[in-house]
Structure 1
Amino acid sequence: MPTHLQPAGHLPMLYQALAVLSTAIYFSGLAHFKLAAARMPPLSGTRTWSLAATLLTSRTWITGAALLGVGAAVQTAALTGLSLVEALPMFLAGLGVLLILAVPVLGERLTPREWGCALLLAAATVLFVHASTGLHGPSDPGTPAPPLVVAVALPSLLVPCIAFMAGDRARKGVHARPLTGVALAVNVGLLTGTAELMLRGASGQGTSPAALLGTPYPYVFAVTALPAMGQLQIALQRSRLVIVGLVATATAKTYLLVVATSLYGEPWPDGRGQTASALGLTILAIAAVPHHEPRYRPAPARLHREPTVR
């Protein structure tokens, strides 16, 4: 297992800043998706062409998609100077930007139980920071054979897409109370984690475009990112940004760390107990998010209210 990690007293501030910035840009893109959702007709994953046409004709959505692309590029740059264990708490720290965008800006509200889940993620972030103390610099990701990369990515792509299609067909009339969007957000998180797994591989290819194009990473990333953005838009139209963002991000980062360990030989720090505890808290936070909105649902943001018909 390659472990080209150099001890140092602190992490490179530039790469830390890039890691936090990538998540902030990502959530800014999600906020654009949320604003675009209010102006769109009801979206469905079973009407693929209608969904694509609706998204591609929305300037606000296209702006959000461009921000997601910039965030992905910044994340790749961050991973050229940080190991994944070092970068993970920086990615999770960006959840503070999500809370600012969702609560004060868009006027969304969290229940006490949902705030508890956010605090669990904050505790996991602190544990990840402690676990990565003493490590410095990127690990040297292995170069698995292209068939192995595809073999890992394929079920990660098919399972959430099949689960989404099955759930979307049976959505109407199943639940009396509105859903918070946890199931959709987990699907989005698995797809996003797969896409980020490709970014992790791409970060080890240097700056040569020819070398990168000779790997499966950009192609699998594109195939995975498209359904991820479609499902994300549907989730944001039906559910609150804060819940979708928290659950999808926690799912994606958990998947990324666990799978990258096997696929790329991504090293774990000496504080394995802290890392395992942090992963446990992250999974607990995802599982503890309520699946249904409260009976007395908080008032929606003013930006999302439908105009009154006179």
Structure 2
Amino acid sequence: MQAVLLACGAHVIYLIGFSIFKATGGELPPLTARRPFQAAGRLVTSLPWLVGLVTVLSGTVVAAFAVDTAPVAVLLPTYMCGLVLVLIVGVSGFGERVSGREGRVLALLLGTLALLALPASQGYGAIASRGASAPPSPAAWSFTLAVLVSILLPLWLFCMRDRKVEGRHTRRTTGVAYGIGAGVLLGTAEVMGIGVIPYIPDDLTGLLATPYPYLFVLAGALGLGLLHIGLQERRLIIVVAVMNVVGKLHLVASATLLYGEPWPDDPVWLGLLAGGMLLALYAVLLLPRHEGRRAAAPPVQAGPRGAGVTAPGRSSVASGRSR
């Protein structure tokens, strides 16, 4: 129960940080993943963004305590509270809208997370504290595979294919791809963080001799930067929902590959867990990739002397481009 409460608390802290990122997006010039150093320079010189960064890092610490004596699969069903909060904040705080298809997919996702609560709570026994365990020693091939797939694939996807397509009939993307890329990177950061836990606080020298802290910083920085780029013009509901689901699924899969993360021994619970994870991934793939004909946010209203006033939920960057 303590792990569940800590995981729910981590989701709340994460959402506060992501909301700060979203609110900060309209105050910064357009960012692109094809210019990572320029994007990084603009982000680290923004005080509100740094406040959001500290908030997200605080959530990471809470999440680490949550999985210290619990399997990482326990994080999957706890995202139910996070998804509900994302919907509330996106609709009431940023004026975002959800299409009928998106609503049905998100309802399916909530149901899937509820299903995962059964094997996550009943299929596992007590596990030893990760902090008191011996440092992990994954095979070289599995570690290399996890790093290459987890970091190089999102970088290729957004550094080589992040192109702005203009045209009269161009349809804006919903942000699913940004959520997937950021989720893979942040999931990688989390799994590297699990590798860090056994070294703290007694063997910091040994920790610095491992790749875990460096990959944690690299994947986390890339993931948060990509998340901010996605939130700058896309809806928080879609980007954060996809990012969290993909990130947690990637965390469970990578922790299994690298550290031999336990799965339920009972075939019923094992089948429910595996099937629920596949269904959650399928739900993400069902989300539409492009916005419908109607804008996802309230339309821009005309102000005095023809000045455009941006309605809530639509960043000033996006409205500036539409003119």
TM-score bin (small chain)? 0.7 to 0.9
Tell me by how many angstroms 1:306 deviates. 4.1
CA distance in 1, matches of 2:283, 2:15: 19
CA distance in 2, matches of 1:53, 1:146: 36
Contact 1:150–1:216 (CA under 8 A) maintained in structure 2: no
Q: Confirm whether residue 257 of structure 1 aligns to residue 246 of structure 2.
A: no
SS at match of 1:108: coil
Preserved contact between residue 185 and residue 247 of structure 1 (Cα < 8 Å): yes
Q: Distance in 1 between matches of 2:214 and 2:76?
A: 24
Residue 40 of structure 2: SS of its match in structure 1? helix
Q: Residue 233 of structure 2 corresponds to which residue in structure 1?
A: 238
Answer yes or no: is 1:21 the counterpart of 2:9.
Answer: yes
How many Å apart are 1:201 and its aligned residue? 2.2
Amino acid at match of 2:275: S
Q: Is the 8 A contact 2:187 2:250 kept in 1?
A: yes
For residues 269-288 of structure 1, give each alpha carbon's deviation from its aligned partner in whole angstroms, at most 9, with x where no partner exists. 12011112211221111101
- Within 2, Cα distance between the matches of 1:95 and 1:209? 37
1:162 maps to: 156
Q: Figure out how many residues of one structure are paired with residues of the other and give that number.
A: 296
TM-score by length of 1: 0.87
Match of 1:48 in 2: 36
Q: Provide closer, same or farther for how the CA distance between residues 272 and 146 of structure 1 changes in structure 2, counting only shifts above 3 A.
A: closer
Question: 1:257, 1:229 → 2: CA distance?
Answer: 20
- Distance in 2 between residues matched to 1:291 and 1:150, nearest whole Å: 31
SS at match of 2:161: helix
Rate the CA distance shift 1:119–1:209 in 2: closer, same or farther, 3 A: farther
Deviations 1:141-180 (A, max 9, x none): 8712484535522331111011111221x33238711110
Q: TM-score, normalised by structure 2?
A: 0.84
What are structure 2's unaligned runs of at least 5 residues? 299-310
User: What is the aligned partner in structure 2 of residue 292 from structure 1?
Assistant: 290
Checking the alignment, whether the CA contact within 8 Å between 1:195 and 1:220 is kept in structure 2 is yes
Give CA-to-partner distance per residue, 1:38-66, whole Å, 9 cap, x none.
11111112223321222122221111111
Q: What aligned pairs does 1:1-310 form with structure 2 within 5 A after superposition? A: 13-134=1-122, 135-138=124-127, 143-145=136-138, 147=140, 149-168=143-162, 170-173=163-166, 176-205=170-199, 207-208=201-202, 210=204, 211-269=206-264, 270=266, 271-300=269-298, 302=312, 304=314, 306=316
Q: What's the counterpart of residue 305 of structure 2?
A: none
Instruction: Report the secondary structure of 1:203's partner residue.
Output: helix
CA RMSD of aligned residues (A): 2.4
Question: Identity percentage over the alignment?
Answer: 33
After superposition, the Cα gap between the structure-2 partners of 1:26 and 1:62, relative to the gap in structure 1 and judged at 3 Å, is: same
| 2:272 aligned partner, one-letter code | Q
